[in-house]
A and B are shown apart, each in its own frame.
Chain A
Amino acid sequence: MQWETVIGLEIHAQLKTKSKIFSGASTAYGAIPNTQACAVDLGLPGTLPVLNQQAVRYAVKFGLAIGAHIAPYSVFSRKNYFYPDLPKGYQISQFDLPIVGLGELNITVDGEVRTIGVTRAHLEEDAGKSLHEDYHGKTGVDLNRAGTPLLEIVSEPDMRSAAEAVAYVKTLHSLVQYLDICDGNMQEGSFRCDVNISIRPFGQEAFGTRAEIKNLNSFRFIEKAIAHEVERQIDVIESGGRVVQETRLYDANKDETRSMRSKEEANDYRYFPDPDLLPVEITESLLEEMRATLPELPEAKAIRFKSDYLLSEYDAAILTTQRPLADYYEKAVEASNGQAKLVANWVMGELSAGLNRDNLDITASPVDAAQLGGLIVRIADQTISGKIAKKVFEIMWAGSDSADDIIEQEGLMQISDTAELEAMIDQLMADNTAQVEQFRAGKTKVMGFFVGQLMKQTQGKANPQELNKLLKEKLK
């Protein structure tokens, strides 16, 4: 039997507000447990939530970016359940009236563009964290995260493979950072993913029973968890069983998913509108204001890069995944007097390698766009060779000088002076008559010997084109 995979995703993107969604406490990551939880976050009796307007604006911005319907009137509801890291005994979320309605997102897989439906996106507060280790049979509760604003983005079951799912998550991950509404830090849990997976025989219209895999926090885990879960479901069905609707947890260490709770055990959350909060009303003027703040989005930027900089599809896609990277690229092109292709190669080559090696973000690059552009100017005008340029780049990485200063200080200027090169060639030929003979006898490989020796003498500064031309003439 041929099986088709059906995937829908729920993404929790932590919004980049300074304070929490319903209180004034800070949202900064990594503080000492419970030092960033105020009376409201602790759910102390008598406290009341007050909605953070910035969170609303971010949600609207997201909705506009995916061409979604923004609800003029949306409602916060209480989702009731008991857990020690949920201080009020209910989570304030949105239920039947979310702020962002149906929208869509284009993804590219193997060069093909697919449109994925986004069912809705709603605002909610995060819970705290239960710490099960280090408390000797007890559980610790850290409420610093309680009340952190989340945008839960729910997709349609439109994806048909792990690759599509990952492409969707990556596209969304890039988008929320472009919009500057989420820092996208997956390790710190700022961007989390729940995956709904089912399978059905090819050609069948009805969906199979789905399992939900919770809290995947890397692209690789998403891919592996899906692959594993699809295999599991096929095994279950082909051996005569049936998939049960349940929540499963992906264990990255064992590379397997295991059951957390089944639907039969699922809570009745008893949602109802939160009487402590007024409905959220979005005015036309706010929509206009937010529309004006929308940046150029990745898809549009990639198209522009292809036409303005004559980049390949691949290069344009890579350079526009992150807004700071794209900004860096454009600044460097400008500083290089338009050497778009050369800059692209350097950004995706040396620069990316250096950043990866030192585990740095583009925004913390030791070589800024102006410096890189300056270096490329000197490659283009043949002041230095590509090989010397790498050396200059290394010095630049460690210090803060411009390419021109480094070339000057280190005396790396290329030797293109014909007379100087000719004299060196004459001397070399005089010292190595045997090799000259060999060359003239048809052993042209000896050319390499002469180039090598001369490069050694000039510490690589000889202009290679010029050198080759002169050597060929003299050896003839």
Chain B
Amino acid sequence: MYNKSLRQLSDSLQKKELSSVELSQYFLARIKRLDSSLNSVITLNEEAALKAAEQADKQLQKGLGGVLTGIPLLHKDIFCTQGLRTSSGSKMLDNFIAPYTATTVQQLQQAGAVMLGKTNMDEFAMGSSNETSFYGGVKNPWDLQRVPGGSSGGSAAAVAARLAPLASGTDTGGSIRQPAAFCGITGIKPTYGRVSRYGMIAFASSLDQAGAMAKSSEDAAIMLQAMSGFDPKDSTSVDRPVDDLLQNIGRSLKGVRIGLPKEFFTDGLDSHVCEKVTEAIDALKSAGAIVKEISLPNINLSVPAYYVVAPAECSANLSRFDGVRFGYRSDEPKDLEDFYKRSRGEGFGDEVKRRIMMGAYVLSAGYYDAYYKKAQQVRRLIQQDFVKAFEEVDIIASATAPSVAFKAGEKTDDPVSMYLSDIFTIGVNLAGLPGMSVPCGFVDQMPVGLQLIGNYFDESRLLNVGHQYQQMTNWHDMIPTGFGQE
């Protein structure tokens, strides 16, 4: 049952071969049995989930349910959920229960999905390996010595281990796509503004975007469909109709123009990973796609530009965690300054502090023009490169990450090498484009991800290409050893 597609599960529910309560219990049991080795789920929502499942069953009984009614899923612990702790992977919010629910979570609730719990993540989504979480790292189900990627590592590992059919994620510099690649699942980050950010704890507001993580493109499409849309509570969400993401998913790839940025196929890319990505592109070509080399001349500046813009925004976004109104508060402060210094010093982990300091620095008087302003100019150049590229092609393809998942602890002392693991994904956030990762083979028994980048609001095309690829291949159906039994 764990490897059934969303459609198959939904059909079983609609036909009443299976109830939502049974299905939810089944996945809750898997989490309890299997997650101790992974640490992917940090808060279980058992009681409320079963209640929600009962409600879903009532709907199904009346024949009123939709495709997501009764389907269990997990939410990244960055989305506020009323009544259930939302920690953002931080000691700072270990005691925080939001009095409201994030818009995306609400949308999925309204579609009938059942929240089983919340997934582990890098602290405040800052990390590429899930090792910065206050709740401890997440293990990669394909090799417990390795990281699942980050920051949505808990969601990726949980879906890969089939602990839930779906999980939400957020992507600021690759945080959906890179862990999807490392764990061998499908993950899509839509266009900036397509999904509401309300109730999603901000890391870098101009880059953060929520998305879907699932076993296949089709499942991801169904989930993303429910998450998308304008939200009057988020001024940066875009008021434009949502495409039917499934309508064109079966369309042939004949004539689809795919661009390969030459800057992404260089020495920085592991040669074995490159081989797998090239094979995947060949498969797309044999299905009728037209492949050509393109150039994104400024893309090599995306990592430095990102590590100015994102920390700058985070340095302000995280100021509200001051111990005054909620969250961690230091004991017996001597005075106000001591209160702030210790509440924040003790409540935040090292990576978060590092980024706050970088951000405060680049915004300081005398440095603003040289760093923040310059980075915004670079960002515009990178965006223009993409806009130009999309005049020639429909899709841009590359590896999602330069290597397969690395070993836990391997990069924790070297932040810059950690930052470089997002080198292929970061530009997409700077430009605000939709991007996705689909599994395309294995290197050293570890999954490899193919990144597909689309034009603005062209999610349906991305999902179409991903789906067609998955019709030809079965990488997305592979299950890590130890997680393949009922």
Q: Is A45 an interface residue (CB 8 A)?
A: yes
* Chief secondary structure at chain A's binding surface: loop
Q: Is B416 an interface residue (CB 8 A)?
A: no
Q: State A84–B206 Cα separation when bound (angstroms).
A: 26
Q: Is A8 an interface residue (CB 8 A)?
A: no
Q: Is B98 an interface residue (CB 8 A)?
A: yes
Interfacial residues of chain A within 13-67, with CB under 8 A of chain B in the complex? 39, 42-51
Q: How large is the interface on B (under 10, 10 to 19, 20 to 34, 35 or more residues)?
A: 35 or more
Q: Which of A86-94, A159-167, A206-214, A342-350 contacts B (4 or more CB under 8 A)?
A: A86-94
B-side contacts of A88, CB under 8 Å: 316, 319-320
Q: Is A82 an interface residue (CB 8 A)?
A: yes
* A44-B98, A89-B322 known; A277 vs B201 contact (CB < 8 Å): no
Contact A46 B325 (CB under 8 A): no
Q: How many A-B residue pairs have CB under 8 A?
A: 102
Contact code string A254-275 (vs B, CB < 8 Å = 1, else 0): 0000000000000010111001
Q: State A88–B102 Cα separation when bound (angstroms).
A: 18
Q: Is B93 an interface residue (CB 8 A)?
A: yes
A-side contacts of B102, CB under 8 Å: 46
Q: Is B312 an interface residue (CB 8 A)?
A: yes
* B96, B322, B324 interface centre (most CB from chain A within 10 Å): B324
Q: Is B14 an interface residue (CB 8 A)?
A: no
Contacting residue for A272 out of B199, B318, B372, CB 8 A: B372
Contact A45 B96 (CB under 8 A): yes
Contact B206 A268 (CB under 8 A): no
Q: State A84–B88 Cα separation when bound (angstroms).
A: 23
A-side contacts of B320, CB under 8 Å: 43-45, 87-89
B-side contacts of A455, CB under 8 Å: none
Contact A45 B340 (CB under 8 A): no
Please, which residue of chain A has its CB at the minimum distance from the CB of B205?
A: A275
Q: State A141–B201 Cα separation when bound (angstroms).
A: 24
Q: State A141–B79 Cα separation when bound (angstroms).
A: 28
Q: Is A78 an interface residue (CB 8 A)?
A: yes
Q: Is A294 an interface residue (CB 8 A)?
A: no
B-side contacts of A352, CB under 8 Å: none
Contact A268 B100 (CB under 8 A): no
B-side contacts of A277, CB under 8 Å: 235-236
A-side contacts of B201, CB under 8 Å: 45-46
A-side contacts of B197, CB under 8 Å: 46, 48
Q: State A192–B190 Cα separation when bound (angstroms).
A: 46
Contact B98 A82 (CB under 8 A): no
Contacting residue for A46 out of B200, B340, B372, CB 8 A: B200
B-side contacts of A131, CB under 8 Å: none
Contact A270 B364 (CB under 8 A): yes
A-side contacts of B380, CB under 8 Å: none
**5 A-B contacts (beta carbon < 8 Å):** A44-B99, A45-B80, A46-B86, A46-B202, A276-B205
List the 10 closest pairs (A to B, CB-CB), nearest first: A89-B319, A275-B206, A275-B205, A270-B363, A43-B320, A46-B199, A45-B201, A46-B80, A88-B320, A268-B365
Chain B residues in contact with chain A, CB under 8 A? Answer: 79-80, 86, 88, 93, 96, 98-100, 102, 197-202, 204-206, 232-236, 312-313, 315-316, 318-322, 324-326, 336, 340, 360, 363-365, 368, 372
Chain A residues in contact with chain B, CB under 8 A? Answer: 39, 42-51, 78, 80, 82, 84, 87-90, 141, 268, 270-272, 275-278
Given contacts A50-B234, A84-B324, A275-B236, 7 further A-B contacts (CB under 8 A): A44-B100, A45-B98, A51-B235, A80-B319, A268-B364, A270-B315, A270-B316
